[in-house]
Chains A and B, each alone.
Chain A
Amino acid sequence: MNKITSTVMMASLLAISASTSAATLDDVIGKGFVQCGVSQGLPGFSQFDDKGNWSGVDVDICRAMAAAIFNDSEAVKYTPLSAKERFTALQSGEIDVLSRNTTWTATRDTALGLNFAGVNYYDGQGFLVRKDLGVNDALELGGAAVCTQTGTTTELNVSDYFRANNLEYTIVAYEKADEVVAAYDAGRCDVYTTDQSGLYAQRTKLKDPSAHKVLPNVISKEPLGPVVRQGDDQWFNVTRWSLFCMINAEEMGVTSKNIKSKMGGDPATKRLLGEEGSFGENLGVSPTWCANIVSQVGNYGESFARNLSVPPLNISRGVNELWSKGGIQYAPPIR
């Protein structure tokens, strides 16, 4: 109820102010950098090191856009945003693009005046169990005690899932994420459930992370992607195709390392790298936009491997594998 009220309030307020200037691309070119809204620190998605340099798959979207527009992936300024202020920051023009592990939902896409440019990570609620439990599938979890956070959709999803599959279960709910982890680690419950990306991050806090594993089952849809303001199609296209370029490059086997040798190859790769056609001009960016992205940021797989598949996170590709390799990451062709 509370959520609905606040959403309606936000929507009506945003409607009043939805008059921000349309040509974001011109503004961005004018000021010389992309203002990118990121999280205040989410492992693997957007985080900063001891020098203050940002990295992560969400950060790479912004770097890709800067590479496409300026041929300089460093032409990005980051605005760390809390979950509450992220949409207003975008609406008020404080940021140009919001790349902050934001779930694409109908309400946000319509009532809030936002546009989701694509999905750079398919997240969903999953289960973490001890390896010595011998469980390989969530359907074997009958009779389990399930640790979760109170009052979140997580709790609702898990009870839906267990009841739909006629499994006995006990919910052990705590107020804070850290308490849930501690309870799970202490053996108060058999299963810990939250979004899968979160499970991987929380697993590193356990006493012996290697003794636990994330089950393959995903029981809710949480597609995360970059968001822009509604009503600026050109900027929307730049954002969307920066992501699609990275996915297409992976599919064609073009990486930041081999991009030189891939030049002048087959027609599809030529189109991707801007040697043929006028896709960059149509977007309003440089003709070699995608080549710039791949050489400076890397393709989607490289970004994923660099940020998420590294220890201690060790997130596997799962559904985020390319469609051609059994996943659901799919980008329309560049032609």
Chain B
Amino acid sequence: MATENQYLPGLHPDLPPPPSEIGVIGWLRHNLLASKTDIFLTIFAIYLIYLLIPPVISWAFFNADLIGNTREACTSGGACWVFINVRIGQFMYGFYPVEERWRIDITFLLLVALMIPMFIDSFRYKAWLGAFILLVFPVIGFYLLAGGSFGLVVVDTPRWGGLSLTLIIAIVGIVASFPIGLMLALGRRSKMPAVSAFCTGFIELWRGVPLITVLFMSSVMFPLFLPDGVNFDKLVRALVGVTLFSAAYMAETVRGGLQAIPRGQYEAAEALGLSYWKYMAFIVLPQALKHVIPGIVGNFIGLFKDTTLVLIIGLFDFLGIVQAASTDPKWLGYSIEGYVFCAFVYWIFCFSMSQYSQSVERKLHTGH
């Protein structure tokens, strides 16, 4: 006779797992306390956190000073954010004249406003908007920032600086290096010997030298070879250097993607009678680029951080201007606050880029 609690073999209903295996307790047991070594490591890690985190928090928040105008305002013994507070305008805009800073604001706001529809899936005119951003916006941005026409005062590039300069270099580098890199990657795989040799040579040359050398050549050596009176803007030289350098890396990343596409795809596309550009644009590149999104974004993040190297050619990017500001006798000794602030801002930008790339990957993960 089967009573309530008795089941025939195989008919027992699923029971919930024991409480020690699920929820917080289960997670702790599995991840932190699974073995003697784990227990020891957990305790050690907690001890390390205890050693590090409270002092950092109290330095950065509880004992910190934020309000004031001079170093005398920093009395609590913790971080002196007053230094950042007083200089924040300079950190953002460099030596750009205060009354003209709205031009930088407008430029970046315009860019953001133009970019927003690109992230909306249902927006239909992406191609046109993209072309506008790539071809028309740079012209608008240049006239806004540099001035000299439409009644705007000229602000020459040595006065540009801070985070806005970092963003300008990074954005120009990223946007310009991508198409160049794409072309170089296609060129390197081309069957035309001259094109392939040129592209290979270009890539190997630029990848073979450190960025610091490129910048140094562009800033120090290049002017020596120019005739008298001919002088390119230092920022333009740096931008060209950064772009070409980054394009070489981009080319190799894209080439990796091209190699991952099975030969059959090329042959099938050719069999359909598509021209080289058509089968590249519609069959091969969409698949190839999808494969290498992490690599491309990795390049971009690297480029964003590499922009700090322009400091050695006397351009005050974000990090550079923070460093220089901490040599002001009024604020000597507060460089740590400056560096922490820098690290935080760089982290925000790099982390957002990385998050965006992951969302693109998910969106494009169709089919296989």
The answer to whether A94 and B231 touch across the interface, beta carbons within 8 angstroms, is yes
Q: Do B158 and A79 have beta carbons less than 8 Å apart?
A: yes
Q: How far is the CA of A137 from the CA of B308 in the complex (A)?
A: 43
Contacts of A85 in B (CB 8 A): 216, 219-220, 312-314
Tell me whether A88 and B223 are in contact (CB under 8 A): yes
Q: Measured between alpha carbons, how far is A201 from B326 in the docked complex, in Å? A: 12
Q: State whether A19 and B228 are in contact (beta carbons under 8 Å apart), knowing that A50-B90, A52-B90, A205-B333 are contacts in the complex.
A: yes
- Asked whether B324 lies within 8 Å of A80 as measured between CB atoms, the reply is yes
Known: A84-B220, A85-B313. A204 touches B329 (CB 8 A): yes
Residue of B nearest to A201 (CB): B332
What chain A residues lie within 8 Å of B87 (beta carbons)? 50
What chain A residues lie within 8 Å of B159 (beta carbons)? 52
A interface, size bucket: 35 or more
A84 and B221 contacting across the interface, CB-CB below 8 Å: no
Complex Cα distance, B220 from A21, in Å, reads 18
Q: Which of A71-124 contact B (CB under 8 A)?
A: 77-82, 84-85, 88-89, 91-94
CB < 8 Å neighbour of A82 from B224, B311, B326, B332: B311
Q: Is the interface of A mostly helix, strand, loop or mixed?
A: loop
A312 touches B311 (CB 8 A): no
Distance A311 CA – B328 CA, assembled complex (angstroms):
12
**Which residues in A have their C-beta under 8 angstroms from that of B316?**
40, 80
Interface positions of B from 95 to 140, Cβ below 8 Å from A: 95, 98
Q: Are B228 and A21 in touch, CB under 8 angstroms?
A: yes
Q: Does B9 contact A (CB under 8 A)?
A: no
> What's the Cα separation between A85 and B224 when bound, in Å?
12
Residues of B within 8 A of A51 (CB): 98
For the complex, give the distance between the alpha carbons of A267 and B225 in Å.
Answer: 51
Taking CB atoms, residues of chain B closer than 8 Å to A93 are 223, 228-229, 231
| Chain B binder among A10-18, A125-133, A224-232 | A10-18
Q: Are A92 and B223 in contact (CB under 8 A)?
A: yes
Instruction: Indicate if the CB atoms of B329 and A43 lie closer than 8 Å.
Output: yes
Q: Nearest Cβ in chain B — how far from A306, in angstroms? A: 11
With a cutoff of 8 Å between Cβ atoms, the chain A residues found around residue B94 in the complex are 52
Residues of B within 8 A of A19 (CB): 228
B327 within 8 A of A: yes
CB of A52 within 8 A of CB of B332, answer no
In contact, A42 and B219 (Cβ under 8 angstroms): no
B329/A44 in contact, CB under 8 A: yes
Interface residues of B in 200-229 (CB under 8 A from A): 216, 219-221, 223-226, 228-229
Residues of chain B contacted by A81 (CB below 8 angstroms): 314
Residues on B close to A: CB < 8 A?
86-87, 89-90, 94-95, 98, 158-159, 216, 219-221, 223-226, 228-229, 231, 234, 311-314, 316, 320, 323-330, 332-333, 335
- By Cβ-Cβ distance, the 4 closest A-B pairs, closest first, are A41-B324, A41-B327, A92-B223, A52-B95
